[in-house]
A and B are shown apart, each in its own frame.
Chain A
Amino acid sequence: MDAQSIVTIIQEKLGSHLQASRLKVKNYHAGIIRLHLWISIDREAFHFTVNTLKSLGRLHLSTAMAYKEYEDRIELIYPFALKMDDAHYSEFMIIASVDIPHNDLTIRTITDIVPGALFMEREVMEMLGIVIEDIPDSRRLFTPSSLQDGYFPLRNGKNKEDSK
């Protein structure tokens, strides 16, 4: 499957929920390609997006909790590895990012679709203070229980000063 047809499939499936996408393809010899696809998703449609991606093939959540913090929002990045057929070297990365505004730091859990995302979501909750709705296990993962509530170690700037 070539790069363009993959992108077309994903664009068709996601339709208007896809806010922006960026494709990066690296060609190796013998038709082997490395494909990285960045997509930005509306927060409301994120759950639907993950569901759609899962229906396309073997979906694997690859990285833990990458994020970018801006003045007014946190951009949460979910890198997925998707494999749509059994051929070798056919897995590609879909890096989905979701904007979450500071005044409403919530997002719906994806553990009902990808149960392996639980550790990541627990980490997001304790480190960034983003509330994951309907998460099956909301305890802390890495930080000790003695850490005061409302202090999120990986928040930058303003929020950190607030909590001091």
Chain B
Amino acid sequence: MIMILAIALIMTIVGLILGLLLKGIDRKIAAYFQSRIGPPLLQPVYDIIKLMYKQTIIPVTAVRWLFSSAPVIALASSALLLLYITIPYIFYIFEINTTLQGDLIVVLYCILIPSIAMVTGAFSSGSPYAAIGAQREMVILMSIELPIAVVIISVAWHAADSMADPFAISSLFEYPLWHNAGAFGVLGGILLFFAMVLVLPAEMSRVPFDQAEAETELAEGISVEYSGKLLAFILLTDAFKALALSMLVVILFFPYTLSQLFGISFQMYGHTLTPFVEIVFLLFKIIVIYSFGITFIRVVMARLKISQVARFFLFAITAISIIGLILIMLDPNMRII
């Protein structure tokens, strides 16, 4: 128990730094595409440090307790999300046997909590900009909920024939989606991956789906009234979510480790270094996913309108993910109930 707590604590701190670094890398890559130099890699860290020193102002129109607790809830739940997804994978890499399996349905809920906390905080701030931002965030949340659920269900579906619990995160590593997929399965998997990658920027509130924050329209929308430490919490939430969501895509679609792929292992002075190399490989995968899912999309697109976004996710992306699900169900190599 104490070990779990210690691991959780270490991983929270490490995850925090890595999440901020991930945002730094994202900004560097975007700057490169826009032929700029860009901020230093550690700029998000500096931002957090600066905000910690700053005065926190709570507007008189706000519902005080709700306004100040919302970022804390968002931060805690996003940290929980990160740990919940990551710990089973870390145990898997280090080959530790554990009863901690993780549950995909819980992940589905955990993804929602930070956003809902932010929406609550925005509504309680009393600012019309925040209110509009919150309404938009709700619309986006509702329209991306179904695609995420369909993706998670389809990935769980193919693992249903194994001995393991299909909704356990740990069974994803043992039976990856592409494990014994036929042509239908591969095609379905690609569609699901495509849907998930497009859901990423919407979940992270990035261009073209950053309507809730829309700087030029709503002056940062849902976070407009936040300042100081509370704003720092929001930025940290964002960092955790960035890491956790890319991690989720990695374990849903590319859980393979180096040793699985190439059967290699690393030894030094008689100690095995394989798990550490695997972690570096994991980080590499996360950066690639994040760059493709968020950075590249945000540099080549303009912000859409909220009605366009709702249509896009409710019809196009939902349809794509459901087709993906049907293809996986049709694949004879995968199990059919």
Query: Is A–B contact present in the complex under a CB 8 A cutoff?
Result: no
